[in-house]
Amino acid sequence: MMPARKTRKSATIARENQKETVVSAGLDALRQVVDSGLLRCAVPEALGGNGKSLEHLSQGAIALAERSPQVARILWAQRSAIEALVHSPNIAVREYLLPSLLNGECAGTLPFQLDSCPLLAEEVGNAYRLYGQLDPVANLQWIGFLLIAPIRRAGKSIEWVVLRSEEDRLRVGIDHEGDALYGSRTASVTLDGVFFRMDEWVNGPPMLAAITPVLEALRGDQI
């Protein structure tokens, strides 16, 4: 009979190996998306686009979804985050963050349920504390990610802000299971008092209408 200590050690090693495999699969999926060139399709050339159209993006998304639903989920997340920044009136945030998303140096994402309950923003002096949960969210990569998240301040309409994975009190849940999800790094994101300043505000209610053409072009992604 195997000693209990050895059994626990074996189980720990198995969990660590499984985690490494999931992390590796997620990074490989992101690299495939970057290498496809689709992230730069329909992005203005002045902002790093490749001059290709929404139609090219749509055809590429459909082909990618047929080969790998997991990679297509990553495409949806990364390209949607890019589009949100493309249309942001906050030029400083756009110019600082957009290149790293286009290059795949950092992962980007929005919640799949774009009409989901926004995070609650409680005012604290000249800043805010954010509370709530977004689920599901894909492309939560180990290398770090930028989350374009909906928030609601008292007396305001829904707004969209950018949050970084390393924020204190931001917690990523366990990856959701399922063959179509493996490698897409899809999980919940919980915020329990994350400190936030409005200088990383992305957009207001007009954002969803602005990014709709790209979301429709990505319809080949099975999410």
Domain ranges of the chain: 4-106+210-220, 107-204
Give the model's confidence band at 181: pLDDT under 50 very low, under 70 low, under 90 confident, else very high: confident
3-state DSSP assignment of residue 23: helix
Angle at 37 between CA 40 and CA 208, to 5 degrees: 40
Is pLDDT at 46 greater than 90 in this prediction? yes
CATH of domain 107-204: 2.40.110.10
Residue 4, pLDDT score = 53
Which fold would CATH assign to domain 4-106+210-220?
A: Butyryl-Coa Dehydrogenase, subunit A; domain 1 (1.10.540)
| Eight-state DSSP code of residue 111 | B
pTM: 0.90
Quick: pLDDT tens for 111-137.
999 988 999 999 999 999 999 999 999
Cis preceding-peptide flag for 213 (omega within 30 of 0): no
The answer to whether domain 4-106+210-220 and domain 107-204 are alike in fold is: no
Q: What is the pLDDT of residues 57-91, one digit of tens each?
A: 999 999 999 999 999 999 999 999 999 999 999 99
Query: What is the reported pLDDT for 3?
Result: 56
Q: Return the pLDDT at 1.
A: 53
Which amino acid would we find at residue 115?
A: D
Query: Is 23 buried (19+), middle (13-18) or exposed (0-12) by CB count in 10 A?
Result: middle
